[in-house]
Amino acid sequence: MNTFKKIGLTALGTSLVASSAIAADFSVSGDAGYTWSAEDVGGAATNDGIGYNHDITISGSGELDNGWSVNTSMILTEDSSLSSSYVKLTMGSMGNVIVGNGYGGQGQGFDDVTPRAYEENHDGMKTTTAIDSIGTLMDNGQIQYNSASYDMMGASVSFGIEYAPEADDAVVGEGGVSAGASKSYANGQGARINVSYAGLSAGAYANEVKLDGGLSRAYMDQDASDSTWFANYTVGPVSFGYQVGGTDRGIAGSAAANNSSAKKVTTANGNFEFEKMSIAFNVNENFSISWGELTETYDEQDDGTVADVDMESTSIQFAYTMGSMSIKGYQTDTDNPGWDSDAKSDEVTELAINFAF
């Protein structure tokens, strides 16, 4: 009798934990191509080269019994490394929840969002810029929620929030926990809002990352933060864009002796502010051109009396598409690269041929 009871309980336990897999669809897409680039530093041509690029995206999606859906995606780049990956649960009109690595979080949509024909200005710059650093502390190990789009007096409005228990930008996997004792930052949170109406689109994003109590706290003097807003307007074939913002990593430091030294967003004390404006013109359905100007200012704040330094870049771009093939290029000129007033100007020219598949 006891034996039969054991068999029955075992069968019941097995039936409780057993489940069927979600019927899913998987797809592979990507692009590949060739590039040529040349750099001119202060009148001396250097770093000419021919290269290649490819991005391979593997995606999967499935639908649950209640109508919700689960999506997952990963991108592999030309050196076979993992660029980004995530898992997204879409809950119908209630929005979606995302957890992943390298996908940028809520700040991803605010990394230079002004109109352009090809790449952001900073793609042709040798310095990691402030506008490219928006939200980077919240890239990994976080959870974010994105609302559905709501109609408000004819405008489409959406918002998103994010939270990271350890905002140190370390890649995490299944059940991953960062070793916070040696890190500078603790938890972080951010939020964004986007509005579109007729030919106008606008948005704002801000985050705050708290200091950690770890060993690096002595090198920090305040919480880190990013903030930015933008507005783009399209009329016919022409699009105009404007974006401003800034980032402060909360790093303490002694006063600089002068402004003729290179700075980095990740290590410099003080803060970085930026202003970007651009215009793009669709000549026809296949050909477009654009012009963009980015000014980034390093401000030492109260750490000394060194004058602010402006790093300025101007980028002229084009793109021509023929079905799945495209030819694109830019020329980007930068003054005071690295926020160094003594640095030579830098000019980068790139041409690329790409194939989508």
Could you tell me the domains of the chain? 24-356 (2.40.160.10)
> Which positions ≥6 away from 9 have C-beta within 8 Å?
none
Report the SS3 class of residue 264.
coil
Cα angle 246, 252, 257; round to 5:
90
Query: What's the rounded mean pLDDT across residues 202-222?
Result: 76
Q: Is the dihedral of CA 63, 86, 272, 248 positive or negative?
A: positive
Residue listed under structure tokens 């041929």: 353
What is the pairing mode between strands 69-76 and 346-356? Answer: unpaired
pLDDT category at 303 given cuts 50, 70, 90 is low
With beta carbons less than 8 A apart as the criterion, state whether 280 and 306 touch: no
Calpha distance 67→286 (Å, rounded):
39
Task: Judge whether residue 173 has pLDDT over 80.
Answer: no
248, two tokens: 């402060």
Percent of the chain with pLDDT over 70: 84
% helix, strand, coil for the chain, step of 5? 15, 55, 35
When pLDDT is cut at 50, 70 and 90, the band that residue 18 belongs to is very low
Q: Of 136, 142, 174, nearest to 161 (Cα)?
A: 142
Give the number of residues written for the chain: 357
CA of 73: how far to CAs of 29, 62, 80, 135, 139, in Å?
Answer: 11, 12, 15, 20, 16
For the segment 95-101, the average pLDDT, to the nearest whole number, is 90
DSSP state of 332: E
**Range picked from 9-18, 91-100, 172-181 for highest mean pLDDT:** 91-100
C-alpha 338/C-alpha 242 separation (Å) is 23
Give the pLDDT confidence score for residue 5 in this predicted structure.
40
Q: Return d(Cα 59, Cα 27) in angstroms, integer.
A: 5
pLDDT for residue 349 is more than 90: yes
> Which tops the pLDDT comparison, 238 or 165?
238
- Nearest to 334, CA basis, from 347, 343, 350: 347
Q: State the pLDDT confidence band at 104, using cuts at 50, 70 and 90.
A: confident
When pLDDT is averaged across residues 151-158 and rounded to a whole number, the result is 95
pLDDT band at 288 (very low <50, low <70, confident <90, very high): very high
Could you read off the pLDDT of 327-343 as tens digits, one per residue? Answer: 999 999 999 999 998 89
Residue 218: per-residue pLDDT: 53
pLDDT of 269 above 90: no
Q: How confident is the model over 317-329, as pLDDT tens digits?
A: 999 999 999 999 9
With cut-offs at 50, 70 and 90, classify the pLDDT of residue 223.
confident
Structural tokens at position 169: 């930008």
Q: What average pLDDT does this structure show over 277-286?
A: 97
- Averaged pLDDT of the chain: 85
Confidence of residue 140 (pLDDT cuts 50, 70, 90): confident
Residue 197 has pLDDT above 90, yes or no: yes
pLDDT the model gives residue 54: 86
Contact 132, 120 (CB under 8 A): yes
Closest residue by Cα to residue 38 from 351, 357, 311, 315: 351
Residue % of the chain over a pLDDT of 90: 54
Q: Taking residues 261-277, what's their average pLDDT?
A: 89
* Cα 130 to Cα 299: distance, rounded to the nearest angstrom: 12
- pLDDT at 4 (0 to 100): 39
Residue 214 has a pLDDT of 59
For the ranges 188-202, 291-305, 307-321, the lowest mean pLDDT is seen at: 291-305
- Cα separation, 249 vs 130, in Å, equals 11
Q: Pick the more confident residue, 230 or 166.
A: 230
pLDDT band per the 50, 70, 90 thresholds, residue 257: low
